[in-house]
Chains A and B, each alone.
Chain A
Amino acid sequence: MATETVRKPYVRHRSAWWWTKNPRYVLFQFREMSSVFVVLYAFLVLWQLWALRGGEDAYYAFLLMWYSRPMMALNAVVLAFAVLHSVTWFALTAKVPLFRIRGRPPPAAFVIGANLAIWIGLSLLIVKLLYGGF
């Protein structure tokens, strides 16, 4: 048995549920999915702007629908995903050090903490500007 053709290596099929195998994969999938909800909210805001064009009565009807229970539930879900989206985004800021302190990159906790603080601070500022208070 001198000659052998090279055997074809066996390629394993990956299950569609691969991401359930480990909590970090699950978080990753939800993180990626959060973009969908962020985009969805953008369309909801556009819808709101469109409703404004229809005049006062049309807008009033829109607001009735907007503050209904199902809509509030949807908004809660979107908020949760938006927060997940932002927090996970900021958590990655430490991966690319922009400067070094004594030869080492700044500690990840510091970088992420600083970014989160600025984000929350700016968000609160915007709320104050838009609504004149909390």
Chain B
Amino acid sequence: MADKGTTKPIKLRISRYRPERSGEPFDQEFTIPYRDDMVVLDALNYIKDHIDPTLTYRWSCRMGICGSCGANVDGTPKLTCALYLRDLKKRPVHIEPLANFAVLKDLVVDIEPFMEKLETVKPYIIRRDERPIERGEYRQTPEELELYRQQSLCINCMLCYSACPVYGYDEKFLGPAASALALRYELDTRDQGSEERLAAIATTHGIWQCTLVGECSVVCPKDVDPAGAIQQLKARAATRLMKAMLLPLAPR
């Protein structure tokens, strides 16, 4: 990338965690040349390439679609590839690993708990009867597609888990992204697995743990609105329960 002409250099304070050096994370400051079209990821790459190759962080697509590069920047969970340094007011810029996750090394966190939660919500089409491939696609109108389109946009970046104080308090909580994914399949007209899916998530540590703080939807870079998704799931789960109690013989 061409050098656009630098202005004042910029200072960053980055949280490091090197298990072989000490048992605790520590901060390290770096000063780097600044271009006004640098994103935080560019700064991290500059440091790794030119100053400290031991700096460890995740990234890949650099265009906000792979979900790898989440970090807490000045206290807020962000995608480092989509956050311009020019939009940050504090100096030094403070970069920490995503909150509410255990730290493996430097800015890399352990996302295994999240991967397990993804599996819990049965995130695939469940059908009682499968249409043979030769008979073509299930028909789904653009309006039906629109019903679940928003929830299908989740890139699994986990910024929402970092923002959620309930998850910070209870790591067994299903959490925003996994719940949004559950709703995505709930609302997909092709899916027939509502019974099993709701049963799996309408539990104490499932959707009912949410107290609607709403910060997840504020930080979501893709406007998935997981907070709304969880409330919709609660309504559906509650409705199901009522129906089961009042009309026990009705089909589900």
Contacts and interface: CB of A to CB of B under 8 A. Distances in A.
Contacts of A97: 232
B193 interface: no
**In the complex, which range does the number of interface residues on chain A fall in?**
20 to 34
B19 interface: yes
B66 interface: no
B211 A32 contact: yes
Interface stretch (B33-41, B121-129, B212-220): B212-220
**In the complex, which range does the number of interface residues on chain B fall in?**
20 to 34
Nearest to B228: A95
A24 B232 contact: no
Contacts of A32: 211
A98 to B, nearest CB: 9
A64 B154 CA distance: 60
B102 interface: yes
Given A9-B104, A96-B232, A103-B146, A19 B25 contact: no
A17 to B, nearest CB: 12
A10 B110 CA distance: 9
A103 B148 CA distance: 11
A100 B128 CA distance: 28
User: Which applies to chain B's interface (DSSP): helix, strand, loop or mixed?
Assistant: mixed
B118 to A, nearest CB: 19
B186 to A, nearest CB: 13
Interface in B227-244: 227-228, 231-232, 234-235
Given A18-B168, A96-B232, A24 B215 contact: yes
Contacts of B99: 12
A60 interface: no
B198 interface: no
A53 interface: no
Nearest to B99: A12
Interface string A15-41: 000110110110010001000000000
Contacts of B24: 10
A25 B211 CA distance: 12
A69 interface: no
> Which of A12, A32, A103 has the largest count of B CB atoms less than 10 A from its CB?
A12
B105 to A, nearest CB: 8
B54 to A, nearest CB: 16
Interface string B61-100: 0000000000000011000000000000000000000011
Interface of A: 7, 9-12, 14, 18-19, 21-22, 24-25, 28, 32, 92, 95-97, 103-104
9 contacts: A7-B19, A7-B104, A10-B17, A11-B102, A12-B25, A22-B75, A24-B213, A24-B214, A25-B165
